[in-house]
Amino acid sequence: MNDTHTVDVPITALTTSQRKRRQVMEAAARLFMAQGYGATSMDAIAREAGVSKATLYAYFQGKDALFAAIVGEACERHAEGRPCCLTDHEDDLAGALVALGEGYLSFLCREEVMAIQRVVLAEGSRFPELGRAFYESGPRRMIQWVAGWFAALQRQGRLRPGDPAVAAEQFLALQRGSTLMRRMLGVPPAPDAAEIRAVVAAAVETFLRAWGTGREQ
């Protein structure tokens, strides 16, 4: 593994404690992506971050908590744009779904997000806490958020009745497929905006055939 992308978050206006926590997270991200989860020790993270072990453990109880924080922060940054998808397409459900899907698939295809997923896939079977931290901090959060939105749409009669969590999982799964698999495997070319737009448009059409009520507008 040689991808050393880190989570790029501005550090302006942060307190000393917040800056030190950011320092630790960025150091851990570099090591996780460069040498893997299993080969990265808390000692190495402390050295890379330039902090004591006591300081490191004051912020994170272990590697799984640190990895979860890295994943969770990346997802939170992505989540900041979700309300805009709904607001900008308040009366156009298909448009809102397309906007949400394009943002989601573009996020998954980002190099730093790919690097995180590769670490999990490569080492998750040997370190169950890694897979658990990733799932709880990333995919599970997204499913819950989308399910909450879908439940509201069902109450409005804009999606047919059913388990909103199932609908959310199906909607998100439709965005992935061969495009994401090709990106994960590094098979060129990398998906561009036009490909992502086409994949999402087809996914939304399929989803609305299954869950739509004819009141999408």
Residues 54 and 132 grouped into a single domain: no
Q: How confident is the model at residue 166 (pLDDT cuts 50, 70, 90)?
A: very high
Q: Does residue 50 sit within a domain? A: yes
| Per-residue confidence (pLDDT) for residue 76, from 0 to 100 | 80
| Per-residue confidence (pLDDT) for residue 75, from 0 to 100 | 81
**CA 173 to CA 188: how far, in whole Å?**
22
Structure tokens at 190: 């990398």
**CA 128 to CA 72: how far, in whole Å?**
17
Q: Does residue 181 sit within a domain? A: yes
| Per-residue confidence (pLDDT) for residue 216, from 0 to 100 | 57
Per-residue pLDDT at 12 exceeds 60: no
- CATH code for the domain of 46: 1.10.10.60
Per-residue pLDDT at 3 exceeds 50: no
| Per-residue confidence (pLDDT) for residue 163, from 0 to 100 | 98
Q: Cα–chain-centroid distance for residue 91?
A: 27
- Specify the number of domains making up the chain: 2
Determine contact, residues 196/203, Cβ cutoff 8 Å.
no
pLDDT digits (tens, 9 = 90+) for 78-87: 776 666 666 6
Residues 25 and 89 grouped into a single domain: no
| Per-residue confidence (pLDDT) for residue 13, from 0 to 100 | 53
Q: How confident is the model at residue 112 (pLDDT cuts 50, 70, 90)?
A: confident
DSSP E strands: which ranges in the chain?
none
| Per-residue confidence (pLDDT) for residue 87, from 0 to 100 | 65
- Give the predicted TM-score (pTM) of the model: 0.81
Higher pLDDT, 137 or 194: 194
Residues 31 and 83 grouped into a single domain: no
- CATH code for the domain of 160: 1.10.357.10
Per-residue pLDDT at 116 exceeds 80: yes
Per-residue pLDDT at 191 exceeds 90: yes
pLDDT digits (tens, 9 = 90+) for 51-95: 999 999 999 999 999 999 988 888 887 776 666 666 666 789 999
